[in-house]
Amino acid sequence: MRVARHRDGLVVSEKDALAVEEPLEIRVSWTAGERRRIEPVAITMRTPGDDFELVAGFLHGEGIVGTAGDVQELTYCRGDEAQEYNIVEARLRPGVPFDADAMRRNVFTSSSCGICGKASIEAVQATGCSMLADGFEVPGALLADLPDRLMEGQGVFARTGGLHAAGLFRADGSLDVLHEDVGRHNAVDKVLGHSLLARTLPAQERVLVVSGRASFEIIQKALMARVPILVAVGAPSSLAVDLASQFRQTLVGFARNGGFNVYCGAERVI
């Protein structure tokens, strides 16, 4: 779009690139007895693109699916041309259970839901999440370098300045997958959803790097994918630290300018 750019006392009319933001409705279709039912489960504001990965990552993070085989098909919903690519239906394989009522009650991923931290962590435990294994270690010098490597892959951010990013890296610093989105949790869902559909989960020997802060819901998604180390450019919340510590995850924050803080799990940092 065209903007009025004010610089050094001058006003110049120029074109400026904006990151696209549109709603995505996630629907789940499953077999109940002899009938197939469909239920809307979430609406998120996201950057269009890689929508199937986003939905797969969301469903995995919420404990609805455990493997790529649980999802029979991911499709855009036809019929409404205006919203055709803003609605994704995830068809579960017959035999995969889905409790729509429990899903509606399951609001603990929202940082504004108002329930206490202890109940939030217990809710994550109820999804089947367990302690992370020991043994995976990464040099501290590499952790300090990963945010710059993440930035190198943020092509849309370079043009717009308006996107978050998430990336999965290996112990040697090589990049597995990177995605951008207006929502930092959406970027994480796209990355982990890509890994789910590629059948490379659990991510037991990889590092998840996020461009923003480390919130409770991002820790939850990483734990469900069995990510042992999470690195955030920004700060973690207190509940994020509590959750990571509960499941023995290594949580790194303020990773920038060559330094970082380790909030828990320091034994994995060489």
Find where tokens 């190198």 sit.
Answer: 152
Q: Parallel, antiparallel, or unpaired for β 229-232 and 206-210?
A: parallel
Specify burial of residue 257 (Cβ count, 10 A radius: 0-12, 13-18, 19+).
exposed
Start-end of H helices in the chain:
51-61, 100-105, 117-126, 140-152, 155-160, 184-197, 216-224, 238-246
Dihedral-angle region of residue 135 (phi above 0 means left; psi in -120 to 50 means alpha; beta otherwise): left
User: Counting every residue, how long is the chain?
Assistant: 270
Catalytic residue numbers read 113
Q: What are phi and psi of 92, to 5 degrees?
A: -80, 145
d(C-alpha 214, C-alpha 117), whole Å: 15
Question: Which two three-digit tokens encode residue 193?
Answer: 């959803």
Distance in Å from the first CA to the final CA of the chain: 47
Helix axis angle, 238-246 relative to 117-126, nearest 10°? 40
